[in-house]
Structure 1
């Protein structure tokens, strides 16, 4: 399902806001800018952007709080930008609902590449036969939507809707993509590096560089996903941790005798 290329830039420094606007316009976006988080929230509500960039250090409401409020009502890709480069700041941004965190000063080419990577994430995963035989039941509906079902969890790749025991779940785009990838992979372990590359829109060839912070970001996304699913890592219903490696789907429920 194609989405309008609309972006919202929330940045209190005029020159940086102008630079971000220029980079996104060159990428084909219709850009709306805000100098503070309150105005930024209004723009997100009004325009339903595909991408939103958020500065962390703003007067009044900071970027972390703004990300939480935006995420409560929008599935926009959130990219946080900050001069604060400590890993704890990046993790706090991801926990607030951001999809990516970029340190200032940033290179315009890097920002463009990171956004392009998010937008080209694969929406079709493993084949129906492979997924069904390894855990989740995967089917195609009459309108060609790919739907995964596992232990009361239903994910529709086309509509990007997830339900748990019939109740809708509000996931970030990154959380949705990780869950879709795990459901399609079934009992095959997906390493943190593989999941990080998937979120970057890249395929693993064994030579890509994935940093410790990238791996830690996957841990944060999975922890947030589990919290929303309402499951415990110690007794998982859907996602198992394979220590030192990554994650995989739990065994399917046994068929009633």
Structure 2
């Protein structure tokens, strides 16, 4: 099947903009789905019309906060609507962006994403999942959430990855005509360098005039297993650059 019309749920978000860009560069017809474009995957407004003639859905829509119950409800509703409307429209499959380590999560947003995977996999359409490491941009959000010239950031191990690299892998997965072999591990993509969130934040903080103090992550969901590397990429993960420092050098 020649795939040329792809709907992107969350197309105006941080990752969605890159996904839409990669698809456009490759000559595909992109249907951007977000409230900004008149399509609401929660209420269903505009969804049937948007999916008319669509071959594949790429789902990168996300909840805006970390509270587990609200995020889970968002993902439950979006999964149901994408499956229901997608099946009626004759969509071939859904490809979704997830997060490395969600299968180990017990609380918080990562546990909501774990539920998201399960809810999508339980639906009628075939589903492909790509798990990614935290994005480079996440470091800036950690600093934005705090006030003053000192920021406290968990010294937890990570392997930060560029949004563009994730978008390219997600598009490749979505458009691959072959079905994954039974037992194939869920694909992962991460950056090329292991570091801690506090180390990366210190690099950005130096540019903003903020002193970064590393913490043990106490109070964060699953901080103990995160410290043990639960959210680092698996051996089969694809590692893609640039590393955080190199990425930061390209930012205004």
TM interval, short-chain normalised: 0.3 to 0.5
Bigger relative CO (Cα 8 Å, ≥ 6 apart):
2
With structure 1 as the length reference, what TM-score do the two structures score?
A: 0.40
